Amino acid sequence: MGWEFSTEPEFQEKLNWIDAFVRDEVEPIDLLWGGKAFHPLDDTLRKIVDPLKQEVHDRGLWACHLGPELGGQGFGQVKLSLMNEILGRSGWAPIVFGTQAPDTGNAEIIAHYGTEEQKERYLQPLLNGEVFSCYSMTEPQAGSDPQQFTCRAERDGDEWIINGWKFFSSNARTASFLIVMVVTNPDVSIYQGASMFLVPTDTPGVIMERHIGLGGERPDEGMHALIHYDNVRVPADALLGGEGQAFAIAQTRLGGGRVHHAMRTVATCQRALDLMCERVLSRETQGSVLAKKQFIQGDIADSYAELMQFRLFVLYTAWEIDQFKDYRRTRKNIAAIKALTPKVVHDGVWRSMHAHGALGVSNEMPFAGMWMSAPIMSVVDGPTEVHKVTVAREVLKDYRPAEGLWPTAHLPAQRELAEKRLAAWIEHTVGNA
Ligand SMILES: Cc1cc2nc3c(=O)[nH]c(=O)nc-3n(C[C@H](O)[C@H](O)[C@H](O)COP(=O)(O)OP(=O)(O)OC[C@H]3O[C@@H](n4cnc5c(N)ncnc54)[C@H](O)[C@@H]3O)c2cc1C
């Protein structure tokens, strides 16, 4: 039997340490400096955060998404998922552990496709946690349909000149470099005609028009840039991977990242359930604690069951990635968990928030931030609909149309077939009756 749902004791010990460390050392930073995670450390924060990063290093838990050749542990996706389930409770924890998106995915693709010079210049500082990076793909007029991308790079001698606009480029504000996806050959499909470039943020012509915020953030808090690439000149060796390879590269970056997003969502849902259970055991109304009301019990059962289903599906997908070592073979399940993520967090957070009544919708509980992750998760890395289309396409690959007019399960035809198969036996039984 190959089914196994337990965690090796040595790794469980690491998880226990991470759990306590995040709760005791990192979550307090979230409470006091919540919106500052992607900003360069000021003197106060450096004194607090640097020793924590050092402790993570000393424990061998820094940047665990990377293989040993890059200073990580080569843990694989199941272990990373279990770690992300803890780190997902906190905005600062991924920074303290060197696993923050989009830097993780960006580091992965530079490690995979970068030249030695690119690795030294961009990857090493990223791995050391010295700089932030940005992945700049979405455009103002097109996100989920790359065929409408127009941001263009044209060759000019030993240089490329980039012109166009990018939208929602996360962390561009504090990033030291951008990975920009642009059209390099408009005469072929975008999937063969797009390339990626490494562009230092201070390159002349990189104009940050504004930094867009999420939900209720103040205008000056925004971290998602609208960028005008205005005659941005980069040398030929700024190309990442080969010309026309952008989509192949992008696929490498998103597979693991989606699993980690999903596991961080498990953390959010578990927190919502924990808060709900505590509240319904504490709050009395109309003669009993809320926990005695059947509507509430139904909500607890739904939240628990949905969370367990989702968690196991995410871990199973992580396991598949570890087994196959080929994101294409597990594309169906990666897309399926991506499509499920916003719904699970939407329903789980809603029930918990609602069980807290007015307090739940107030700014004295953490639900508003948790709640925003539902609409965010439904568009970030592509909208739910697009992932559902992928799931359906992959599922349908295992099926064929029925031959003839009737479905293969059409009962009259099935019965006829069964009678034919069993004709000899029926004749024998009837003959001997
Ligand atoms: C928090 C956050 C961070 C982000 N960070 C980055 C980043 O760092 N870099 C980057 O490049 N981008 C980033 N994005 C952008 C993200 O990748 C896009 O939002 C996403 O690809 C969707 O594109 P869009 O917003 O243009 O929506 P659109 O493509 O305009 O889609 C809008 C809606 O149309 C519907 N729709 C779209 N396609 C279909 C379809 N095939 N069938 C049915 N309905 C459909 C869906 O309801 C969808 O939500 C980020 C987004 C968010 C929210």
Per residue in 363-381, pLDDT tens?
999 999 999 999 999 999 8
pLDDT confidence band for 3 (50 / 70 / 90):
confident
* The pLDDT of residue 258: 85
In short, whether 224's Cβ falls inside 6 Å of ligand 1 is yes
Task: Give percent above pLDDT 70 in the chain.
Answer: 98
pLDDT in tens, 127-158: 888 899 999 999 999 999 999 999 999 999 99
Instruction: Please name the residue that has the structure tokens 């696929």.
Output: 251
* The pLDDT of residue 346: 97
Q: Whose CA is nearest to atom 16 of ligand 1?
A: 380
pLDDT in tens, 282-335: 999 999 999 999 999 999 999 999 999 999 999 999 999 999 988 888 999 999
**pLDDT of 204 above 90:** yes
From 66-80, 160-174, 395-409, the region with the lowest mean pLDDT: 66-80
* The pLDDT of residue 363: 94
Average pLDDT over residues 93-117: 92
Instruction: Report the chain's terminal Cα–Cα distance, integer Å.
Output: 45
The C-alpha torsion from 424 through 428 and 429 to 430, rounded to 10°, is 100
**Cβ atoms 208, 227 nearer than 8 A:** yes
The number of the ligand 1 atom at minimal distance from the alpha carbon of 172 is 8
What's the token pair of residue 138? 């979405």
CA of residue 279 relative to chain centroid, distance: 30
Mean of per-residue pLDDT scores for the chain: 93
Average pLDDT over residues 267-274: 97
Q: Is 88 exposed, middle or buried (0-12, 13-18, 19+ CB in 10 A)?
A: buried
In short, whether 255's Cβ falls inside 6 Å of ligand 1 is no
Count of beta carbons in the 10 Å neighbourhood of residue 2: 3
Query: What length is written for the chain?
Result: 433
* The pLDDT of residue 144: 92
**Cβ atoms 139, 149 nearer than 8 A:** yes
Average pLDDT over residues 51-67: 92
In short, whether 380's Cβ falls inside 6 Å of ligand 1 is yes
Average pLDDT over residues 217-233: 93
The number of the ligand 1 atom at minimal distance from the alpha carbon of 102 is 8
pTM score > 0.75 for this model? yes
Average pLDDT over residues 70-92: 89
Of residues 124 and 356, the one with the higher pLDDT is: 356
What's the token pair of residue 281? 């055991």
Average pLDDT over residues 251-278: 89
* The pLDDT of residue 72: 77
Taking the centre of ligand 1 as the mean of its atom positions, its distance from the CA of residue 224, in whole angstroms, is 13
Task: Give percent above pLDDT 90 in the chain.
Answer: 81
Residue 24 DSSP symbol: I
- Judged by DSSP in three states, 225 sits in strand
Average pLDDT over residues 111-121: 94
- Judged by DSSP in three states, 4 sits in coil
**Cβ atoms 240, 109 nearer than 8 A:** yes
Q: Whose CA is nearest to atom 12 of ligand 1?
A: 138
| CA pair distance 178, 172, nearest whole angstrom | 7
In short, whether 137's Cβ falls inside 6 Å of ligand 1 is yes
| CA pair distance 133, 104, nearest whole angstrom | 9
In short, whether 376's Cβ falls inside 6 Å of ligand 1 is yes
Which residue blocks in 283-383 are alpha helix, DSSP H? Answer: 294-324, 331-355, 357-361, 367-377
In short, whether 168's Cβ falls inside 6 Å of ligand 1 is yes
| CA pair distance 337, 258, nearest whole angstrom | 8
* The pLDDT of residue 92: 95
CA of residue 41 relative to chain centroid, distance: 25
| CA pair distance 314, 337, nearest whole angstrom | 6
Nearest CA to 195 out of 118, 252, 248 is that of: 248
Report the relative pairing of strands 152-156 and 224-235 from DSSP bridges.
unpaired
Residues sharing a CB contact under 8 Å with residue 170, sequence separation 6 or more, in sequence order: 102, 134, 135, 223, 224, 225
| CA pair distance 120, 131, nearest whole angstrom | 13
**pLDDT of 411 above 70:** yes
* The pLDDT of residue 312: 97
Average pLDDT over residues 214-234: 93
pLDDT confidence band for 433 (50 / 70 / 90):
low
Taking the centre of ligand 1 as the mean of its atom positions, its distance from the CA of residue 95, in whole angstroms, is 25
Helix (H) or strand (E) holding 163: strand 159-170
Phi, psi angles (nearest 5°) of residue 329: -70, -20
Residue 401 DSSP symbol: P
pLDDT confidence band for 254 (50 / 70 / 90):
low
pLDDT confidence band for 67 (50 / 70 / 90):
confident
In short, whether 144's Cβ falls inside 6 Å of ligand 1 is yes
pLDDT confidence band for 65 (50 / 70 / 90):
confident
**Cβ atoms 336, 387 nearer than 8 A:** yes
In short, whether 113's Cβ falls inside 6 Å of ligand 1 is no
Pick from 109, 379, 386, 393 the residue to mutate for probing ligand 1's pocket: most ligand atoms within 8 Å of its CB: 379
Report the relative pairing of strands 175-183 and 194-200 from DSSP bridges.
antiparallel
| CA pair distance 270, 316, nearest whole angstrom | 18
Residue 91 DSSP symbol: S
- Judged by DSSP in three states, 245 sits in coil
In short, whether 135's Cβ falls inside 6 Å of ligand 1 is yes
* The pLDDT of residue 39: 87
Q: Is 360 exposed, middle or buried (0-12, 13-18, 19+ CB in 10 A)?
A: buried
Residues sharing a CB contact under 8 Å with residue 385, sequence separation 6 or more, in sequence order: 144
Nearest CA to 318 out of 272, 278, 258 is that of: 258
Nearest CA to 17 out of 6, 26, 28 is that of: 26
- Judged by DSSP in three states, 357 sits in helix
